């Protein structure tokens, strides 16, 4: 598994559905550079069971992301037409109607490959034939990308394990706190907690507060 933290986020141009129903052919994360942080996350497939709980949970927290200048973008190996149909299916019928942030279509699986979250790989046999070994879907990868387009946090879950949207918000808060104040954020830090200076004295002062 590649570690992308500290590196430029792999860029792409791919079809996506935005605003809950508008299909665009060349969506890219480049539009957010210099303007917004990005939570870019992968999920295995449309019309499944764990995935809508995450997708809808991100939508329910959109006010929290927007006030932190964060764009949320989802991605799976499904087509843009599958995304569109799911986005226009009522929640009671297994859909995700009401989700407005972009869902990227990665049918070629190149985006998942570049972010190293694809659950499998292509192999060429002795006859030169290409086959896919594994599950042709993405693990539940999540990447926090800063305004310079650099990955600052990543987490990858296996397919049965849903993510914490509150933890994603906490990581955004920690990054913004560091950028604004130069203080590092210790274990279990959350907005409003005491942070510390990255010095021996700063650590001692912080740990002393537990006594």
Q: Quote the pLDDT of residue 122.
A: 78
How far is residue 181's CA from residue 173's CA, in Å, rounded to a whole number?
12
> Which residue bears the tokens 């274990």?
187
- Which class would CATH give 14-163? alpha beta
Domain boundaries defined on the chain: 14-163, 164-211
Contacts of 6 (CB under 8 A, 6+ apart): 150, 151, 152
Concatenate the DSSP letters of all residues of the chain into one string: ----TTSBPPP--EEEEETTTEEEEEE-GGGGTTT-EEEEEE-S-SS-SHHHHHHHHHHHTHHHHHTTTEEEEEEESS-HHHHHHHHTS-GGGT--TT--S-EEE-TT-HHHHHTT-EEEEEEE-TTS-EEEEEEEEE-EEEEEE-TTSBEEEEEEE-TT----HHHHHHHHHHHHHHHHH--B--TT--TTS--B-SSHHHHHHHHHTT-
Q: Quote the pLDDT of residue 133.
A: 86
Tokens of 30: 């480049």
CA-based end-to-end distance of the chain = 40
Candidates 17, 29, 39, 51; catalytic one: 51
Supply the pTM of this predicted model: 0.91
pLDDT, tens digit (0-9, with 9 covering 90-100), for 2-11: 899 999 999 9
Instruction: Give Cα 162 to chain centroid, integer Å.
Output: 13
Active site residue 75: no
> Phi/psi of residue 161, each to 5°?
-105, 105
- Residues of the chain with pLDDT below 50 are none
Q: Quote the pLDDT of residue 178.
A: 94
């Amino acid at each position: 598994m590649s570690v992308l933290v500290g590196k430029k986020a792999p860029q792409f141009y791919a079809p996506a559905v935005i605003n809950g129903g508008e299909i665009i052919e060349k969506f890219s994360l480049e539009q957010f550079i210099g303007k917004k942080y990005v939570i870019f996350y992968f999920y295995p497939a449309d019309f499944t069971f764990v995935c809508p709980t995450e997708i809808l949970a991100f939508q329910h927290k959109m006010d929290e992301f927007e006030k932190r200048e964060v764009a949320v973008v989802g991605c799976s190996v499904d087509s843009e037409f599958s995304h569109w149909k799911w986005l226009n299916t009522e929640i009671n019928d297994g859909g995700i109607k009401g989700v407005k942030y972009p869902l990227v279509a990665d049918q070629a699986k190149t985006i998942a490959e570049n972010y190293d979250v694809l659950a499998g790989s292509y192999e060429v046999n002795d006859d030169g034939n290409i086959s896919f070994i594994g599950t042709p879907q993405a693990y539940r990868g999540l990447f926090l990308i800063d305004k310079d387009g650099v990955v600052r946090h990543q987490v990858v879950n296996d397919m049965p394990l849903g993510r914490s949207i509150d933890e994603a918000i906490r990581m955004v808060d920690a990054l913004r706190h560091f950028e604004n104040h130069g203080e590092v954020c210790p274990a279990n830090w959350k907005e409003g907690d005491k942070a510390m200076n990255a010095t021996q004295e700063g650590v001692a002062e912080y740990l002393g507060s537990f006594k």
